[in-house]
Amino acid sequence: EDKVVQSPLSLVVHEGDTVTLNCSYEVTNFRSLLWYKQEKKAPTFLFMLTSSGIEKKSGRLSSILDKKELSSILNITATQTGDSAIYLCAVVDTGNQFYFGTGTSLTVIP
């Protein structure tokens, strides 16, 4: 059964801390892994990863894929209260089927 598992389920940190969110997957015919940030409405796209070992970076956020370990991490450095959200990981297979994790709820306190 194809699935995506995220950990931890929830996380509370202080502003300025660095956090690492994990996503592991068991998906046949993997095509890409996506990270989203969900606050209010629709999830906001963050990164798409297709190749192992290549870090994607955007400001204080970065992510990398490890196809050997079937996992990805999302790092957020110098966290701010505005980073509080649910972070979703999704894997897309070659048939364009999405497999979402249940998300990691991040709370950043001042």
Task: Name the site residues for other proteins (rule: CB under 8 A).
Answer: 3, 34, 36, 38, 41-45, 48, 86, 88, 90, 95-100, 102-103, 105
Distances (CA, A) of 35 to 19, 38, 53: 15, 10, 16
Between 54 and 78, CB nearer to other proteins: 54
Whole-angstrom distance, CA of residue 30 vs CA of residue 26: 9
CB 86 → other proteins: shortest distance, Å? 7
Between 39 and 66, CB nearer to other proteins: 39
Whole-angstrom distance, CA of residue 15 vs CA of residue 23: 23
